[in-house]
């Protein structure tokens, strides 16, 4: 049951917002060079491996979620965020379009309320504060209760860095003892909400009465088509699968959940997956896994989220070798897809479902659509193909905001050094996923923009040009 907010907590919250607004008034006066330097200082303080490794370890210890080794890799996202920030303008004129007579000016949005997920308790606030500083905003974080210690530790490292640079520490703050009701009170008092997490959190943000960006649920699905027909291609695709599936023990919504594999290459590709560390569960083991991952209604049980494949197998009542990186179950064909088939829904752990499609590529597209009807619409999918027509057809019909081609979904979706996706830890999923935008939440979403328009020569085509065959000679006569 949600805790009631006490008068003392309201007083504490209002004091935090007041301090945030004072800090906002100060950072709003900074020029481009000053904010860029602050972004660099904050990023350097957290990305330092001696700091980040400790934060990663403490995050796993406090939450019980994820993998200490691969969680270290998430610091690379902060480097990418800094890279993009340093390449963009955010103070004064940020864009000019002479042919349109348009000049755009950036303005801060003000005080941001950040709802921090338990799966990324340090990456999210660190990445968001870099964008916030760049846009001359301030941010108040509401950590997940299960990760409040490590989130606030990360925030305090950033605050100390800000003070050393002569900037207000209150550019970022964190609630020390968060609760659902306290978070709701925070959102009401801010200018913008960024909610990174599950649907209940996002719904709460959208119900706050304050402009909000949210993310949607994932069920990342990758098509492996018949052009993946050489040992080299299969090895690469299987490696991409392992990387995406195993990152932080599958805790991320971008981690591969389902593979749709062409029957022409299915057997060989499964062998490639085994070489990459897959354990193929038999029917009895799959049934045991289903029983510890979902309740009878298909609700995901928390105790098996983001744990190692060995612990997942142990929870289900069997053992697997220590060298196995993830567990794969056979989903079958289209008959294995549906809300009653739990393995076609989001897993959020080190388990992958393998589906087989026969014949034409359209059958793969149909299966993809059916899987997203189970869950994950709006988030992401991928394809390993060398056929541009197949890639284009997937792009035309997939109900998702991002599609990764021949690369790990978990790395590519939120931006990487080898693709052009904007780096972030918050991914909008469009109206499919109940979000207002279908793009990565990045710097432009942290700014208000003023458009200044100068007059141009009149630009109005004739009625004949505008209406074509629907034009009437007396179109303008009253």
Give the catalytic positions in this structure. Answer: 253
Say how far apart CA 190 and CA 188 lie, in whole Å: 6
Bridge partners for 329 per DSSP: 353
Say how far apart CA 169 and CA 23 lie, in whole Å: 8
Say how far apart CA 321 and CA 72 lie, in whole Å: 25
Do 241 and 276 touch, CB atoms closer than 8 A?
A: yes
CB count, 10 Å around CB of 465?
9
Look-up of token digits 């098996």: 304
Query: For residue 205, with 0-12 CB atoms within 10 Å meaning exposed, 13-18 middle and 19 or more buried, which class applies?
Result: buried
Do 121 and 59 touch, CB atoms closer than 8 A?
A: yes
Say how far apart CA 181 and CA 167 lie, in whole Å: 31
Say how far apart CA 227 and CA 234 lie, in whole Å: 10
CB count, 10 Å around CB of 355?
26
H/E/C letters for each residue in 18-67? HHHHHHHHHHCCCCHHHHHHHHHHHHHHHHCHHHHHHHHHHHHHHHCCCC
379: helix, coil or strand? strand
Strand pairing category for 92-97 and 102-108: antiparallel
DSSP assigned state of 283: H
Query: For residue 359, with 0-12 CB atoms within 10 Å meaning exposed, 13-18 middle and 19 or more buried, which class applies?
Result: exposed
Taking alpha carbons only, the member of 134, 157, 165 closest to residue 28 is: 134
Say how far apart CA 466 and CA 459 lie, in whole Å: 12
Residue 76, CA atoms < 13 Å, CB-side half-sphere: 13
Task: Give the gyration radius of the chain's Cα atoms.
Answer: 24
DSSP assigned state of 432: G
Q: What is the largest CA-CA distance in the chain?
A: 83
State the DSSP string of 206-221: HTSSS-EEE------E
CA quadruple 250, 256, 258, 259: dihedral sign = negative
């Amino acid at each position: 049951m949600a805790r009631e907010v006490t008068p003392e907590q309201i007083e504490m919250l209002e004091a935090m917002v007041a301090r945030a607004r004072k800090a906002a008034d100060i950072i709003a006066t900074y020029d481009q060079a000053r904010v860029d330097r602050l972004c660099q200082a904050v990023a350097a303080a957290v990305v330092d491996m001696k700091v980040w490794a400790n934060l990663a370890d403490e995050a796993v210890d406090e939450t019980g979620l994820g993998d200490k080794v691969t969680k270290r890799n998430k610091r690379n996202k902060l480097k990418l965020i800094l890279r993009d920030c340093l390449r963009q303008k955010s103070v004064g004129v940020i864009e000019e379009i002479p042919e349109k007579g348009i000049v755009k000016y950036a303005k801060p949005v003000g005080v941001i309320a950040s709802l921090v997920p338990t799966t990324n308790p340090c990456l999210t606030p660190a990445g968001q504060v870099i964008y916030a500083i760049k846009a001359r905003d301030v941010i108040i974080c509401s950590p997940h209760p299960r990760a409040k210690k490590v989130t606030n530790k990360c925030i305090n490292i950033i605050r100390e860095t800000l003070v050393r640079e002569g900037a207000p520490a209150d550019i970022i703050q964190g609630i020390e003892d968060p609760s659902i009701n306290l978070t709701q009170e925070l959102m009401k008092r801010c200018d913008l909400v960024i909610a990174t997490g599950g649907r209940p959190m996002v719904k709460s943000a959208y119900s706050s009465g304050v402009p909000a960006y949210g993310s949607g649920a994932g069920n990342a699905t990758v098509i492996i088509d018949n052009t993946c027909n050489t040992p080299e291609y299969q090895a690469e695709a299987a490696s991409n699968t392992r990387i995406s599936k195993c990152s932080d023990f599958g805790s991320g919504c971008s981690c591969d959940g389902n593979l749709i594999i062409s029957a022409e290459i299915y057997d060989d590709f499964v062998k490639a997956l085994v070489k990459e560390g897959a354990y193929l569960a038999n029917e009895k083991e799959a049934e045991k896994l289903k029983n510890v991952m979902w309740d009878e209604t298909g609700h995901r049980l928390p105790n098996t989220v983001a744990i190692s494949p060995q612990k997942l197998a142990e929870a289900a009542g069997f053992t697997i070798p220590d060298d196995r990186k993830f567990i794969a179950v056979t989903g079958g064909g289209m008959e294995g897809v549906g809300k009653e088939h739990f393995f076609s829904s989001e897993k959020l752990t080190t388990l992958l479902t393998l589906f087989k499609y026969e014949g034409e590529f359209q059958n793969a597209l149909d299966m993809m659509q059916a899987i997203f009807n189970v869950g994950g619409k709006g988030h992401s999918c991928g394809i390993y193909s060398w056929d541009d027509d197949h890639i284009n057809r997937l792009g035309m019909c997939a109900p998702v905001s991002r599609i990764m081609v021949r690369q790990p979904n978990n790395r590519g979706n939120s931006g990487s050094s080898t693709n052009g996706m904007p780096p972030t830890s918050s991914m909008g999923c469009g109206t499919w996923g109940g979000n207002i935008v279908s793009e990565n939440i990045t710097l432009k979403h942290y700014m208000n923009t003023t458009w200044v328009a100068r007059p141009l020569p009149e630009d109005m085509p004739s009625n004949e040009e505008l209406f074509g065959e629907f034009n009437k000679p007396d179109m303008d006569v009253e």
